[in-house]
Amino acid sequence: MQLVAPVRLVAATPALRALAALSLVYAQVQLAFITYFVSFLNLELGLTLVAAGLIYAVAHAASIVGRIAWGIVADRVLSPRTVLSVLGMVSGKNVVVYDTPANLNDVEIHGHMIALDESFTARNYDSGPPRGELTIWGGFAQKKIGAVGIFGSGHVILHGYNKVYHFDRNLMINSPPGYPPTGRYILTLWEEISPPQA
């Protein structure tokens, strides 16, 4: 019976219903991610199982701190809806969609990306068979337009992806926490990571 009262409260409160639905989506994404994460590190990136397991463990430890930190942000800085609604990614160079096996037949990205020094692009966009649609729900900012595919006559895709972009107007008002605002910014720290091997 103790479980019934909270469920009724969520069902009766519109704001809580929206947060619960969004949290459910995030939980589904997290479960899908952790199911394949170690396999991806091992099979696609060539890491040993021990190294992949260590990264997996560190990611879980970081998530404990992250949950507390984002909870504080949602309580004291931004609204819970804003914190849950906007996901952001910043790159010092390009934001690249790699041509891994999982990305060879349609890709869907939910979030906003910033390529500080170059472009949002796809790796090997100008070779190989068509890879379907690159769907973005959110948006991106880039220094110059990056290619994600090559088209023939009649807008027929020859290589890479066909663009299906849905720009989120919410980002004009609520930027992701810690995101560089529109205008000037200062890069204070940057760390390079090795891209996955083909």
Residue pLDDT, tens place only, 30-82: 777 778 788 888 887 788 989 988 988 888 887 788 778 877 877 787 666 66
Residue 23: the pLDDT is 72
Whether 80 and 74 have beta carbons less than 8 Å apart is answered as yes
How big is the CA angle at 66 (ends 36 and 58), to the nearest 5 degrees?
50
Two tokens, residue 171: 């980002």
Query: How far apart are alpha carbons 25 and 30 in whole angstroms?
Result: 9
pLDDT score of 122:
92
> Does residue 192 belong to any structural domain of this protein?
no
Q: Which of 59, 84, 109 is the last residue of a domain?
A: 84
Same domain, 77 and 123: no
- Residue ranges of the chain with per-residue pLDDT less than 50: none
In a domain, 19, yes or no: yes
Q: How much is the pLDDT for 149?
A: 93
Among residues 42, 68, 84, the one where a domain terminates is 84
Do 120 and 55 share a domain, yes or no?
no
For residue 130, the model assigns a pLDDT of 93
**78 and 93 in a common domain:** no
Residue 161: the pLDDT is 94
The DSSP bridge pattern shows strands 120-122 and 149-151 to be unpaired
Whether 16 and 74 map to the same domain: the answer is: yes
pLDDT score recorded for residue 124 = 92
Instruction: With respect to residue 96, please indicate whether it lies within any of the assigned structural domains.
Output: yes
Query: Are 12 and 25 in the same domain?
Result: yes
State residue 186's pLDDT score.
59
What value does the CA radius of gyration of the chain take, rounded to a whole number of Å?
Answer: 20
Predicted pLDDT of residue 177 = 56
The model's pTM = 0.50
- Same domain for 163 and 95: yes
Q: Residue 124's domain spans which residues?
A: 87-172
User: CA 159, CA 123: separation in Å to the nearest integer?
Assistant: 11
CA–CA separation, 107 vs 129, rounded Å?
Answer: 15
For 67-76, what is each residue's pLDDT tens digit? Answer: 788 778 777 8
